[in-house]
Amino acid sequence: MLIIPSIDLIGGRVARLLKGDPKYAWFYDNLGNPVTIAKMWESEGAQLIHIVDLDSALGRGDNINVIGDIIRALNIPVQVGGGIRSVWRARQLINLGASRIVIGSLAFKSPETFEAILRELGHDRIVVALDHLDGRV
């Protein structure tokens, strides 16, 4: 079994949202900074880290510098999602060292952009995230 720890970032801090609502964010500053937390997961045996850039997903900036710091600090693959809406952003994350990028609603809302990302980066670098509620995707 592969267990993949997820680190959600808001304003350069590790966070969790209650039901996806940024008004109800709580932060894990007591555990350390994002790099420290990622290294903790690696030392616990994680084989892959999943990072979600919530600022980018919410359209209010990004955490590209922190993501780069995490990738450079680890010796395991890092996949990144959250607010990837262009070929440029997808390429930026791969060039930063992300092993894969995670695409969500873009795959359905803008299939032409999604196909361009696939052509640019290849199928092996892309994960599609599907959410469902009450049996609907």
Catalytic site positions: 8, 131
Distance, CA of 18 to chain centre: 18
**Within the chain, where are the H helices?**
34-43, 54-57, 64-73, 87-96, 106-109, 111-121
Residue 58 is which amino acid?
Answer: L
What residues have CB less than 8 Å from 9, skipping those under 6 apart? 15, 34, 51, 52, 53, 54, 55, 63, 66, 67, 82
